[in-house]
Structure 1
Protein backbone atom coordinates (compact mmCIF):
# COMPACT_ATOMS: atom_id res chain seq x y z
CA UNK A 1 0.00 0.00 0.00
CA UNK A 2 2.79 2.41 0.92
CA UNK A 3 4.58 1.63 -2.34
CA UNK A 4 1.41 2.37 -4.29
CA UNK A 5 1.11 5.72 -2.49
CA UNK A 6 4.72 6.52 -3.30
CA UNK A 7 4.15 5.61 -6.97
CA UNK A 8 1.14 7.91 -6.98
CA UNK A 9 3.34 10.71 -5.62
CA UNK A 10 5.94 10.03 -8.32
CA UNK A 11 3.28 10.98 -10.87
CA UNK A 12 2.51 14.27 -9.08
CA UNK A 13 6.03 15.74 -8.98
CA UNK A 14 4.90 19.08 -7.51
CA UNK A 15 3.31 17.44 -4.46
CA UNK A 16 6.28 15.08 -3.99
CA UNK A 17 8.72 18.00 -4.14
CA UNK A 18 6.69 19.92 -1.56
CA UNK A 19 6.60 16.90 0.79
CA UNK A 20 10.35 16.39 0.41
CA UNK A 21 10.98 20.09 1.10
CA UNK A 22 8.87 20.05 4.26
CA UNK A 23 10.46 16.77 5.38
CA UNK A 24 13.91 18.32 4.95
CA UNK A 25 12.85 21.34 7.02
CA UNK A 26 11.65 19.07 9.83
CA UNK A 27 14.86 17.04 9.61
CA UNK A 28 16.93 20.23 9.88
CA UNK A 29 15.01 21.45 12.94
CA UNK A 30 15.36 18.09 14.68
CA UNK A 31 19.06 17.75 13.82
CA UNK A 32 19.69 21.24 15.28
CA UNK A 33 18.05 20.07 18.51
CA UNK A 34 20.19 16.92 18.54
CA UNK A 35 23.35 19.03 18.43
CA UNK A 36 22.28 20.85 21.59
CA UNK A 37 21.63 17.59 23.46
CA UNK A 38 24.16 16.22 25.99
CA UNK A 39 24.24 12.77 24.39
CA UNK A 40 25.80 12.08 21.01
CA UNK A 41 22.63 11.42 19.03
CA UNK A 42 22.48 10.75 15.30
CA UNK A 43 19.62 10.29 12.86
CA UNK A 44 18.99 8.99 9.36
CA UNK A 45 17.20 10.67 6.52
CA UNK A 46 13.52 9.81 6.50
CA UNK A 47 12.11 8.30 3.32
CA UNK A 48 8.61 8.88 2.05
CA UNK A 49 7.70 5.28 2.94
CA UNK A 50 8.90 5.85 6.52
CA UNK A 51 6.93 9.09 6.59
CA UNK A 52 3.75 7.25 5.58
CA UNK A 53 4.32 4.67 8.32
CA UNK A 54 5.11 7.27 10.98
CA UNK A 55 1.93 9.17 10.09
CA UNK A 56 0.00 5.99 10.82
CA UNK A 57 -1.57 5.76 7.37
CA UNK A 58 -3.68 2.62 7.30
CA UNK A 59 -6.79 1.19 5.72
CA UNK A 60 -10.05 2.17 7.36
CA UNK A 61 -11.90 -1.03 8.26
CA UNK A 62 -14.52 0.45 10.54
CA UNK A 63 -17.42 -0.86 8.45
CA UNK A 64 -20.26 -2.37 10.42
CA UNK A 65 -20.83 -5.92 9.26
CA UNK A 66 -18.45 -8.83 8.81
CA UNK A 67 -19.62 -9.02 5.20
CA UNK A 68 -18.44 -5.42 4.58
CA UNK A 69 -15.09 -6.18 6.24
CA UNK A 70 -14.58 -9.21 3.99
CA UNK A 71 -15.35 -7.09 0.91
CA UNK A 72 -12.77 -4.55 2.12
CA UNK A 73 -10.19 -7.31 2.62
CA UNK A 74 -10.76 -8.48 -0.96
CA UNK A 75 -10.46 -4.93 -2.32
CA UNK A 76 -7.19 -4.40 -0.45
CA UNK A 77 -5.92 -7.81 -1.53
CA UNK A 78 -6.32 -6.80 -5.19
CA UNK A 79 -3.69 -4.09 -4.70
CA UNK A 80 -1.05 -6.28 -3.06
CA UNK A 81 1.96 -7.02 -5.23
CA UNK A 82 3.08 -10.44 -4.03
CA UNK A 83 -0.17 -12.35 -3.84
CA UNK A 84 -1.08 -15.91 -4.68
CA UNK A 85 -4.36 -16.86 -3.06
CA UNK A 86 -6.54 -15.33 -0.36
CA UNK A 87 -7.76 -17.86 2.22
CA UNK A 88 -10.86 -17.49 4.39
CA UNK A 89 -11.61 -19.97 7.15
CA UNK A 90 -15.13 -20.72 8.43
CA UNK A 91 -16.68 -17.69 6.73
CA UNK A 92 -19.98 -19.49 6.21
CA UNK A 93 -20.55 -19.44 9.97
CA UNK A 94 -20.78 -15.63 9.88
CA UNK A 95 -22.56 -15.04 6.55
CA UNK A 96 -26.00 -15.85 5.24
CA UNK A 97 -26.51 -17.81 2.01
CA UNK A 98 -27.35 -14.59 0.14
CA UNK A 99 -24.22 -12.88 1.48
CA UNK A 100 -22.11 -15.89 0.43
CA UNK A 101 -23.60 -15.73 -3.08
CA UNK A 102 -22.93 -11.99 -3.24
CA UNK A 103 -19.41 -12.56 -1.98
CA UNK A 104 -18.70 -15.18 -4.65
CA UNK A 105 -20.06 -12.83 -7.31
CA UNK A 106 -17.86 -10.00 -5.99
CA UNK A 107 -14.81 -12.30 -6.05
CA UNK A 108 -15.58 -13.33 -9.61
CA UNK A 109 -16.03 -9.75 -10.79
CA UNK A 110 -12.73 -8.73 -9.19
CA UNK A 111 -10.90 -11.78 -10.57
CA UNK A 112 -9.34 -12.71 -7.24
CA UNK A 113 -8.16 -16.21 -6.30
CA UNK A 114 -9.86 -17.19 -3.05
CA UNK A 115 -9.98 -20.44 -1.10
CA UNK A 116 -12.71 -21.03 1.48
CA UNK A 117 -11.91 -23.64 4.11
CA UNK A 118 -15.07 -24.70 5.87
CA UNK A 119 -15.74 -27.25 8.57
CA UNK A 120 -19.13 -28.24 7.18
CA UNK A 121 -20.57 -28.73 3.72
CA UNK A 122 -22.15 -25.61 2.29
CA UNK A 123 -25.52 -26.36 0.71
CA UNK A 124 -26.03 -24.79 -2.70
CA UNK A 125 -22.32 -24.41 -3.45
CA UNK A 126 -19.62 -26.58 -5.03
CA UNK A 127 -17.80 -28.38 -2.25
CA UNK A 128 -14.49 -30.18 -2.34
CA UNK A 129 -13.85 -32.50 0.55
CA UNK A 130 -10.57 -33.65 2.06
CA UNK A 131 -11.38 -36.66 4.24
CA UNK A 132 -9.45 -38.17 7.15
CA UNK A 133 -7.42 -40.31 4.71
CA UNK A 134 -6.47 -37.14 2.81
CA UNK A 135 -8.58 -38.20 -0.15
CA UNK A 136 -9.69 -35.12 -2.08
CA UNK A 137 -12.97 -35.27 -4.00
CA UNK A 138 -15.77 -33.06 -5.28
CA UNK A 139 -19.13 -33.48 -3.60
Structure 2
Protein backbone atom coordinates (compact mmCIF):
# COMPACT_ATOMS: atom_id res chain seq x y z
CA UNK A 1 0.00 0.00 0.00
CA UNK A 2 1.28 3.42 -0.95
CA UNK A 3 0.42 6.54 1.05
CA UNK A 4 1.54 9.80 -0.54
CA UNK A 5 0.76 13.39 -1.37
CA UNK A 6 0.19 14.22 -5.01
CA UNK A 7 3.77 15.40 -5.47
CA UNK A 8 5.07 12.10 -4.08
CA UNK A 9 2.94 9.85 -6.30
CA UNK A 10 4.92 8.24 -9.12
CA UNK A 11 3.58 9.57 -12.44
CA UNK A 12 2.42 6.16 -13.69
CA UNK A 13 0.65 5.45 -10.38
CA UNK A 14 -1.10 8.84 -10.46
CA UNK A 15 -2.25 8.16 -14.01
CA UNK A 16 -3.60 4.74 -12.96
CA UNK A 17 -5.39 6.24 -9.95
CA UNK A 18 -7.29 8.72 -12.14
CA UNK A 19 -7.93 6.10 -14.78
CA UNK A 20 -9.49 3.78 -12.15
CA UNK A 21 -11.65 6.58 -10.77
CA UNK A 22 -12.82 7.40 -14.29
CA UNK A 23 -13.46 3.72 -15.11
CA UNK A 24 -15.65 3.18 -12.05
CA UNK A 25 -17.28 6.52 -11.27
CA UNK A 26 -17.76 7.93 -14.77
CA UNK A 27 -18.09 4.86 -17.00
CA UNK A 28 -19.33 1.98 -14.79
CA UNK A 29 -21.62 4.14 -12.62
CA UNK A 30 -22.53 6.42 -15.55
CA UNK A 31 -21.85 9.62 -13.61
CA UNK A 32 -20.16 12.29 -15.67
CA UNK A 33 -18.78 14.61 -13.01
CA UNK A 34 -15.65 16.75 -12.56
CA UNK A 35 -13.38 14.20 -10.85
CA UNK A 36 -10.34 16.46 -11.24
CA UNK A 37 -11.60 19.02 -8.74
CA UNK A 38 -8.24 20.41 -7.62
CA UNK A 39 -8.38 18.77 -4.20
CA UNK A 40 -5.94 16.01 -5.21
CA UNK A 41 -3.25 18.67 -5.59
CA UNK A 42 -3.63 20.21 -2.13
CA UNK A 43 -0.44 19.69 -0.09
CA UNK A 44 -2.49 18.32 2.84
CA UNK A 45 -4.32 15.70 0.74
CA UNK A 46 -3.10 12.16 1.26
CA UNK A 47 -3.70 9.46 -1.35
CA UNK A 48 -3.98 5.85 -0.22
CA UNK A 49 -3.26 3.51 -3.13
CA UNK A 50 -3.48 -0.28 -3.12
CA UNK A 51 -1.06 -1.88 -5.55
CA UNK A 52 -0.76 -5.48 -6.69
CA UNK A 53 1.87 -7.15 -8.82
CA UNK A 54 0.79 -7.62 -12.42
CA UNK A 55 2.39 -8.66 -15.70
CA UNK A 56 3.09 -4.96 -16.35
CA UNK A 57 4.55 -4.23 -12.91
CA UNK A 58 2.32 -2.75 -10.23
CA UNK A 59 -1.42 -2.34 -10.86
CA UNK A 60 -3.67 0.04 -8.89
CA UNK A 61 -6.54 -2.04 -7.47
CA UNK A 62 -7.96 0.54 -5.10
CA UNK A 63 -7.58 4.10 -3.93
CA UNK A 64 -9.05 6.78 -1.71
CA UNK A 65 -8.05 10.22 -0.59
CA UNK A 66 -8.01 11.93 2.80
CA UNK A 67 -8.61 15.67 2.73
CA UNK A 68 -7.92 18.26 5.41
CA UNK A 69 -11.08 20.35 5.74
CA UNK A 70 -9.86 22.47 8.66
CA UNK A 71 -11.49 21.21 11.84
CA UNK A 72 -12.12 17.76 10.38
CA UNK A 73 -10.77 15.28 7.85
CA UNK A 74 -12.77 14.09 4.85
CA UNK A 75 -12.46 10.70 3.18
CA UNK A 76 -13.50 10.50 -0.43
CA UNK A 77 -13.08 8.94 -3.86
CA UNK A 78 -13.06 5.45 -2.31
CA UNK A 79 -12.86 2.98 -5.20
CA UNK A 80 -11.87 -0.64 -5.79
CA UNK A 81 -11.26 -2.05 -9.27
CA UNK A 82 -13.85 -4.61 -10.42
CA UNK A 83 -11.23 -7.39 -10.29
CA UNK A 84 -10.46 -6.55 -6.64
CA UNK A 85 -13.99 -6.47 -5.24
CA UNK A 86 -15.15 -8.92 -2.61
CA UNK A 87 -11.66 -9.31 -1.16
CA UNK A 88 -11.84 -6.82 1.70
CA UNK A 89 -9.65 -4.26 -0.05
CA UNK A 90 -11.85 -1.30 0.85
CA UNK A 91 -11.41 -2.30 4.48
CA UNK A 92 -7.62 -2.26 4.13
CA UNK A 93 -7.77 1.23 2.68
CA UNK A 94 -10.23 2.45 5.31
CA UNK A 95 -8.03 1.08 8.09
CA UNK A 96 -5.15 3.17 6.73
CA UNK A 97 -7.37 6.23 6.22
CA UNK A 98 -8.57 6.04 9.82
CA UNK A 99 -4.95 5.86 11.01
CA UNK A 100 -4.19 8.98 9.00
CA UNK A 101 -7.20 10.81 10.47
CA UNK A 102 -6.25 9.95 14.04
CA UNK A 103 -8.59 11.34 16.68
CA UNK A 104 -10.04 14.12 14.47
CA UNK A 105 -13.66 14.29 13.41
CA UNK A 106 -13.99 12.56 10.02
CA UNK A 107 -16.71 13.16 7.44
CA UNK A 108 -17.66 11.45 4.20
CA UNK A 109 -20.54 11.15 1.77
CA UNK A 110 -21.35 7.45 1.40
CA UNK A 111 -23.27 5.81 -1.37
CA UNK A 112 -26.39 4.76 0.51
CA UNK A 113 -25.73 1.04 0.03
CA UNK A 114 -22.32 1.40 1.66
CA UNK A 115 -23.45 3.19 4.83
CA UNK A 116 -23.16 -0.09 6.77
CA UNK A 117 -19.52 -0.49 5.77
CA UNK A 118 -18.68 2.95 7.10
CA UNK A 119 -20.83 2.36 10.19
CA UNK A 120 -18.33 -0.34 11.12
CA UNK A 121 -15.72 2.42 11.42
CA UNK A 122 -17.85 4.46 13.81
CA UNK A 123 -19.53 6.68 11.21
CA UNK A 124 -23.13 7.74 11.73
CA UNK A 125 -25.58 9.20 9.23
CA UNK A 126 -25.83 12.94 9.90
CA UNK A 127 -28.43 14.10 7.41
CA UNK A 128 -30.96 13.11 4.79
CA UNK A 129 -30.20 11.02 1.74
CA UNK A 130 -29.29 13.08 -1.34
CA UNK A 131 -28.73 12.51 -5.02
CA UNK A 132 -25.19 13.11 -6.19
CA UNK A 133 -24.77 12.63 -9.93
CA UNK A 134 -27.63 10.12 -10.09
CA UNK A 135 -26.49 7.97 -7.14
CA UNK A 136 -28.06 8.25 -3.71
CA UNK A 137 -25.69 9.19 -0.87
CA UNK A 138 -25.90 9.96 2.83
CA UNK A 139 -23.65 12.34 4.77
CA UNK A 140 -21.80 10.54 7.55
CA UNK A 141 -19.49 11.58 10.36
CA UNK A 142 -17.30 9.97 12.99
CA UNK A 143 -16.99 12.21 16.03
CA UNK A 144 -13.61 13.41 17.21
CA UNK A 145 -12.07 11.12 19.80
CA UNK A 146 -11.10 12.65 23.16
CA UNK A 147 -7.40 13.19 23.64
CA UNK A 148 -5.76 10.44 25.64
CA UNK A 149 -4.10 11.39 28.94
Higher strand share: 2
Asked if Structure 1 and Structure 2 have the same fold, meaning a TM-score greater than 0.5 normalized by the shorter chain, the answer is no
Higher helix share: 1
TM-score (normalised: structure 2): 0.31
Q: State the structure with more CA Rg.
A: 1
